[in-house]
Every structure is written in C-alpha cells, then in structure tokens.
C-alpha cells in the first residue's frame, strides 16, 4: 500500500482482537487498534493521498476486488466517497465510508443531536417508527405509531408537497425548538414545543412481558448493535428471566457489531448453543489465512434463558447482524421468523481507520455452523406479516407481534399471514447501507 503502514493488517484477526472487529454492518470498538492497514500519516491525508491509500486497500482487502476496474486514476476523484462509488462491485450495496466523528458519535458515544424519533413517510403523511426513551420527543409524549400532522403550524402534507419537510425540522443544533402537532392512532391530538438535544440512542427500545395462552412470553425491541448494546441486552434479559417464549424484534435494525449478535443469541439459547460455532468469516482469496470461526459466548452477558425456540420479527430493514442472529441460531434451535424478507446481507466489514475517516467496505462473507450463508435475497419469513403502524411497541394490533402470538397458540401461520404479500424493501436506492438509511430517518 502506498504511503500507509500495513503492520497492523493481520492483528485484527487474532482471537483476542475478534471482539473488536467486525460489524456485519458496521463498527469496531472505539478502543481498537487499526483494523486493516493502519492509520495514514498526516502528510498523506491530501485528497489524492487518501484516494491512493483507499484504492490500494480495496485492491487487497475488498471481498469483490476482482470487480474493481483496472484503469482507475485516484487523482480523478474529489473524495474517497466518489472513489468508492466508482470502484464498488455492481453487487455491492453495503460498503460505505464515515468520518471519524460520525463513527465516534453513532457507534461509540451512541448519540446524535435531535428530537429523538425516527420517521416513515407514507404519501403526504409522516408517522413515527420509534421514539428513543428519555428523548425530548418521549418527554413530550410522542410514541411509536403517532402521526405528526403539523410543524410550526404548517401542515405536514404541505411541507412534503413543497419539499421543505427537512428544513422545517431544523438544523442539527442543540436548542433548536419546533412546535409539533401530532395525533395518536385513535385520533387524540397533541401540540407541544420540542427542543433538540443530544439524544441517547438506546439500542433496546422496549421490553415487555405478557401471557399467550399459558405461556409467559418475553419481548424486546433490538434496534442496533453498537458499543452500548451489551449492557442494554443485559437489562432486557434480566427483565425476562424465566419466560417460556422469547420474541426479538429487529424489524428496523440495520446491523452493527457481530459480537452483540452473538451475545443476543447466546443469552436467548444459552446451553443449547454455548461453545458451538456461531459464525465463520470467509475472506477473499488473498486473505484466506484470516478466515476465522467464533463460538457462541455470552460476551458482556450475565444471564441466559436456555430456550429451544426463539421468534424474530423482521422487515426488509432487518440487516446484517440482525440476519446473523437468525442464521447462526438455526442449526441449533427453532427460529420462527415473522414479518417480511430481510435485507439480504450475508457479508461484513472490518472497519479501517485512515486520516479523519473510517471505511466500512465488505471484507468477508459469513456462514453458520452448517456452512449456510449467501442469502443475498434475504431470509424468508416463516409467517408473513406487514409492518403497519397501529400501536406502540408490544401492544395488541401490531401485525408482526399478533402473528407471533398466533403461531405460539397454533404452531402454524394464520390465514391472514397466508394472504399477506411478500414485500421486499428497495435497499438499492441510493446504494446506502440499511444502517445509514436507518440513521437518515432519525431526527
């Protein structure tokens, strides 16, 4: 590689470094050593210097390096972002580059400046997919499935029609204040002033416990796999000890750190999986010595459930480590997938720091203990259900959770499921990784 050291290139794949590694969908751990080619020297951080480094790195470590055109001149591109778009494989919709500040904010510090909600636009309507606990939006009373109808007195329909919705939501600065009018699914209306602050991105958005028939059912919503996820998972499993059934809701989870997919799986299935193969990482033919198999382990976990069946709720936004959770458990316990096909990402990244950036390009594919992977078309659900926004987390009426309840009682899918259409989300749009798409819809 030109101008950048490679002494750390193999370090990341040692057993001790694996827990810092990989995000099947993003992220190392803020304290990790360089994960690929080492950091760039300051005098090599010109645009051309970064492009030269990045191209060399891609030719060595990119999983689909054979698809990189031969006639690429790094000086022809204004940034590594442009260069990546020019050289990525036609089948690659997952590689991306973050600034180091973006990486630290979302993966390590687990926060962003905003109101604390994630949105979904349906025609001229703006609905809330989720609200972060303790955020300004939550404190104002906003909940999942609420619809924002006006911002500072202007209807959302008008803002969407004239393309000014994002502008109306204000700059990403602490203290920006907006008047929201919103309504519950039952039509109850609210109007409040809400101010932006640093929002803590809890990775477990809800934990519920309820009864289905005579079964004690645990349910939690796992929204991403980042540095704080280990502690968040412990809170969930502490609250759900002794349950007969478990539902893990990853319907909007765009992925993240593999080690926490391992923890979530291991705490759920416990002695049914601990010590067995969780995942094997397979690198390109230049780096086969890096291939590595890791076992199920509790990672940061303390308590375990020892369940022989787990329900997982998915949509086309369920990606990467969310899919790994399903695929890795399948050889050992029953996994009932409810919802829509997942995004289809059986590959992962070893985050590579350089200059003021960190690249997340595809370095390897993942397979389970039976060698199964390559689910580029997504993991198909056992029972189909559409993600309609009708209620807050864990409530009756949610089509995905209701279908899971039906299956628990009947050991089969409902007639409603059989009549549901398979909806595959358009993950190609903008070539953005689903995790970036997830963050782009948070305000």
117 token code pair: 């909600």
Reported confidence tier of residue 107, pLDDT bands at 50, 70, 90: confident
Please state the domain extents for the chain.
11-108, 112-200, 204-349+364-427
Residue 165 in contact with residue 126, Cβ under 8 Å?
yes
Q: For the chain, how many residues are written? A: 443
Tell me the pLDDT of the chain averaged across its residues.
88
What ranges in 220-319 are assigned the alpha helix state H?
Answer: 229-239, 258-269
DSSP 13: G
What pLDDT is stored for residue 14 in this prediction? Answer: 33
Backbone torsions φ then ψ of 401, nearest 5 degrees: -70, -35
Q: Which residues of 46-62 are buried (b: 16+ CB within 10 A; e: fewer)?
A: eeebbbbbbbbbbbbbb
pLDDT higher than threshold 80 for residue 13: no
Which of the residue ranges 18-27, 184-193, 258-267 would you say has the lowest mean pLDDT?
Answer: 18-27
- In a 3-state reduction of DSSP, which class is residue 184? coil
H or E stretch including 210? strand 204-212
Interval 299-328 mean pLDDT: 97
Confidence category of residue 423, pLDDT binned at 50, 70, 90:
low
Three-class DSSP labels, 24-65: ECCCCCCCCCCCCCCCECHHHCCHHHHHHHHHHHHHHHCCCH
Q: Give the global pTM.
A: 0.89
H-type helices in 155-228, by residue range? 156-161, 165-168
Q: Is the pLDDT of residue 177 over 50?
A: yes
Domains 112-200 and 204-349+364-427 share a fold: no
What backbone torsions phi and psi does residue 30 show, to the nearest 5 degrees? -50, -20
Report whether pLDDT(82) > 60.
yes
Pick the CATH number of 204-349+364-427 from 3.10.180.10, 3.90.226.10, 3.90.1150.10, 3.40.50.150: 3.90.226.10
Confidence of residue 110 (pLDDT cuts 50, 70, 90): confident
Q: What is the pLDDT of residues 125-166, one digit of tens each?
A: 999 999 999 999 999 999 999 999 999 999 999 999 999 999
Q: How far apart are CA 413 and CA 384, in angstroms?
A: 8
* pLDDT for position 17: 35
Half-sphere exposure of 423 (CA within 13 A, CB side): 17
Positive or negative torsion for Cα 382, 383, 386, 387: negative
> If we measure between CA atoms, which residue out of 95, 27, 38, 37 comes closest to residue 67?
95
pLDDT digits (tens, 9 = 90+) for 189-199: 999 999 999 99
What is the Cα–Cα distance from 277 to 373, expressed in whole angstroms? 14
CATH topology of domain 112-200: Pdz3 Domain (2.30.42)
CB-based contact 86:58 (threshold 8 Å): no
pLDDT of residue 431: 52
């Amino acid at each position: 590689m030109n101008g950048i050291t490679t002494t750390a290139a193999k370090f990341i794949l040692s057993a001790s470094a694996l827990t810092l590694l990989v995000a099947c969908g993003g992220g190392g751990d803020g304290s990790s050593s360089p994960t690929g080619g080492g950091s760039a020297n300051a005098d090599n951080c010109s645009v051309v210097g970064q492009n030269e480094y990045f191209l060399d790195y891609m030719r060595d470590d990119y999983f689909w390096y054979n698809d990189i055109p031969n006639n690429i001149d790094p000086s022809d591109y204004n940034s590594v972002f442009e260069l990546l778009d020019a050289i990525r494989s036609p089948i690659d919709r997952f590689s991306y580059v973050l600034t180091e500040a973006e990486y630290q904010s979302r993966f390590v510090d687990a926060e962003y400046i905003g109101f604390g909600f994630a949105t979904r636009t349906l025609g001229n309507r703006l609905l809330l997919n989720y609200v972060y606990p303790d955020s300004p939006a939550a404190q104002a009373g906003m909940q999942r499935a609420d619809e924002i109808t006006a911002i500072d007195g202007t209807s959302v329909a008008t803002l969407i029609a004239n393309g000014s919705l994002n502008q109306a939501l204000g700059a990403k600065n602490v203290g920006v204040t907006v008047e929201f009018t919103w309504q519950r699914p039952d039509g109850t209306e609210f109007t409040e002033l809400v101010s932006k602050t640093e929002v803590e991105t809890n990775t477990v958005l809800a934990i519920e416990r309820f009864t289905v028939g005579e079964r004690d059912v645990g349910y939690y919503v796992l929204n991403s796999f980042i540095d704080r996820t280990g502690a968040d998972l412990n809170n969930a499993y502490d609250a759900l000890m002794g349950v007969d059934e478990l539902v893990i809701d990853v319907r909007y989870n765009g992925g993240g750190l593999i080690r926490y997919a391992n923890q979530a799986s291991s705490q759920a299935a416990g002695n049914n999986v601990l010590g067995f193969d969780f995942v094997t990482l397979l690198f390109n033919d230049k780096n086969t010595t890096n291939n590595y198999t890791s076992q199920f382990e509790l990672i940061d976990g303390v308590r375990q459930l020892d369940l022989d069946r787990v329900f997982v709720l998915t949509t086309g936004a369920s990606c990467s480590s969310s899919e790994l959770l399903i695929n890795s458990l399948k050889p050992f316990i029953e996994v009932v997938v409810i919802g829509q096909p997942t995004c289809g990402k059986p590959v992962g990244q070893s985050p590579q720091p350089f200059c003021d950036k960190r690249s997340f390009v595809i370095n390897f594919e993942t397979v389970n203990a039976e060698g199964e992977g390559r689910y580029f078309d997504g993991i198909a659900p056992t029972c189909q259900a559409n993600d309609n926004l009708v209620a807050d987390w864990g409530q009756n009426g949610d089509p995905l959770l209701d279908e899971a309840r039906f299956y628990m009682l009947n050991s089969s899918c409902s007639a409603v499921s059989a009549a549901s259409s398979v909806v595959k989300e358009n993950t190609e749009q903008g070539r953005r990784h689903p995790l970036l798409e997830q963050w782009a819809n948070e305000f």
